[in-house]
């Protein structure tokens, strides 16, 4: 038997297993076969994957009752559930823009960490969601499957829309949409510089920077990273900065931030990718003071997840959600517009 585990280092949280069945394998239900081979995977979780067409045998989806045969090639995709820390419900306000029995769509504020980790053991979006669900009598922590929760992530200092599953079936079906890249995601960013073309597509392979593991880097060779595709268009030029919209075809860690830095347009005040210093403009002290004031108003990279679209896991209905820019980004953009107006008028 051959087995491969691939956990995407990206905004999508899923894991992918592949098995090649031995020649001497007796007939056995595929859900039992797979459960016996994946550590800590309950049979209910495996069955949910089958119901969502996430178990393929010889490249075709099968149900839980399928009988495994010798030399079958089995592929299974499931939501990834990393639980390195104790998860504790915390009464933290959430901006919930939509909720039903299967899922929640949350407009995350900048500065909120999505999942507990080293240095961030509490105060995260997951802690807040656990409390919110407990108020509804949904105790995910006591479920042997640990339920759904996160389907994807956005960075701590990125604001905007996220979808959170409330049960295992919804989790699996939503995760498959992210895995298949059938979701719709649009981001608004404020970046340094102006563009030669009003729109474009950025590609390459994204992986960890070889000299700084906290950063991602765009490479032209597949062995250094995973395929990353970002489509962008310029919404408005404001002299030394531009407002752009980015549509993700793939969803890798820091994808927009790394792509923009790669083409010389890092996000405004993006400390990790070099956007936290004056990259365009004059040397006048008033201009320097203006930019530093903008940095103070927006103490993070200027990125907002403004649109999220997916197919509802139960009804199949296509759902689109949009949110306005976070107030700090909106205020800084307003200041740049005023700056350009005064500059044009010669004040």
Q: Would you please indicate which residues are annotated as catalytic (active-site) residues? A: 155
Rounded Cα distance between 186 and 307, Å, is 5
Q: Which residues pair with residue 309 across a beta bridge?
A: 184, 320
Rounded Cα distance between 187 and 179, Å, is 19
Residue spans of alpha helices (H) in the chain: 30-35, 43-51, 125-135, 168-179, 255-262, 285-297, 327-345
Cβ–Cβ under 8 Å, residues 287 and 239: no
DSSP letter, residue 288: H
Query: Phi-psi region for residue 147, left (φ > 0), alpha (ψ -120 to 50) or beta?
Result: left
Cβ–Cβ under 8 Å, residues 320 and 306: no
Which of 287-291's residues contact partners 24+ apart within 8 Å by CB, and which partners? 290/335, 290/339
Residues 6+ apart with CB under 8 A from 251: 10, 11, 12, 152, 178, 181, 185
* Pair of tokens at residue 236: 């408005």
């Amino acid at each position: 038997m051959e087995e491969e585990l691939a956990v995407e280092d990206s905004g999508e949280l899923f894991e992918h297993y592949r098995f090649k069945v031995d020649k001497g394998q007796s007939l056995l239900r595929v859900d039992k076969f797979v459960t016996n081979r994946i550590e800590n995977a309950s049979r209910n979780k495996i069955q949910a994957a089958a119901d969502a067409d996430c178990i393929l045998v010889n490249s075709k989806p099968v149900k839980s009752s399928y009988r495994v045969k010798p030399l079958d090639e089995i592929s299974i995709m499931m939501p990834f559930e990393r639980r390195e820390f104790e998860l504790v419900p915390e009464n933290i306000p959430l901006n919930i823009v939509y909720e039903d029995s299967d899922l929640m769509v949350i407009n995350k504020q900048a500065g909120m960490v999505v999942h507990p980790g080293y240095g961030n053991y509490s105060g995260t979006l997951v802690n807040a969601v656990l409390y919110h669900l407990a108020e509804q009598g949904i105790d995910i922590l006591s479920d042997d499957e640990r339920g759904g929760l996160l389907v994807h992530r956005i960075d701590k200092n990125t604001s905007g829309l996220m979808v959170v599953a409330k049960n295992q079936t919804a989790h699996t079906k939503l995760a498959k949409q992210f895995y298949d890249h059938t979701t719709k995601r649009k981001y608004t960013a404020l970046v340094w510089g102006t563009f030669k073309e009003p729109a474009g597509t950025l590609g390459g392979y994204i992986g960890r920077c070889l000299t700084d593991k906290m950063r991602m880097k765009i490479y032209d060779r597949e062995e250094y990273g995973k395929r990353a595709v970002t489509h962008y268009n310029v919404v408005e030029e404001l002299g030394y900065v531009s407002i752009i919209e980015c549509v993700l075809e793939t969803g890798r860690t820091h994808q927009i931030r790394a792509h923009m830095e790669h083409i010389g347009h890092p996000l405004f005040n993006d400390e990790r990718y070099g956007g936290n210093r004056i990259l365009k403009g004059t040397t006048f002290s008033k201009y320097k003071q203006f930019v530093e004031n903008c940095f103070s108003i927006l103490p993070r990279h200027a990125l907002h997840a403004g649109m999220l679209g997916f197919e509802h896991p139960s009804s199949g209905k296509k759902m689109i959600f949009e949110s306005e820019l976070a107030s700090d980004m909106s205020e800084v953009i307003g200041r740049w517009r005023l700056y350009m107006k005064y500059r044009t008028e010669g004040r």
